Amino acid sequence: MKKALTIIFLIFTFLAKGQFGTKAVGYFISNRNDTVRTHFYVDYPQGMLQNFAYSIKYVDSNNKQQALKPELAKEVYFVCNGEKMKLVSMEFPKYLYPTKTFGFFQVIDESGYLKEYYCSWNKLNWEVFQKGNDTLHVNSSVHYREKLAQYFSDCPEIVTQIKNKEHRSTLEFVKEYNRSCAVKQ
């Protein structure tokens, strides 16, 4: 009997976590510049935010679960598992999703001319770059290094590093680009 109750408890815990996600305290800034404090339910397996491009579940002032769409908020801030997160609502590149207008993008680094974002939906994960206010560039896993080198073609130092596999993360490329090449823009 004790084993059966333990198994039922574990199954319920697993299903509840999958349905509701990880609870994260935070706030969002609406398109009318209202700041709304709330908590969100986010999908956060293995330290990677997942499935947030088109909506994020949150609890409204009536304690009801709602879906926050990117068309309704400029920015979203929350803390999940001790990590501060910032999402921004931006227009999707038409070549990526011609039917979707806006999406949420997780900010990785937006401190310089070149910015890096991350986007995820339905098991698809994208690294997204933006030079200044240009159109977003999404780097796919197909021919990853070649496409990355092509995007950074205005910075020969980075292209050489990409081809020589000198960096381990795209964030390192972004920081190097902002140090070495962005001043030329």
pLDDT at 34: 95
**What is the average per-residue pLDDT within 147-152?**
89
CA distance 106 to 78: 11
> Domain locations in the chain?
2-138, 140-185
Confidence class of residue 76 from pLDDT cuts 50, 70 and 90? very high
pLDDT at 128 over 70: yes
Closest CA to 51 of 42, 63, 60: 42
φ and ψ of 114, to 5 deg = -90, 130
Q: What is the mean pLDDT of residues 124-135?
A: 85
Q: Is the pLDDT of residue 29 over 90?
A: yes
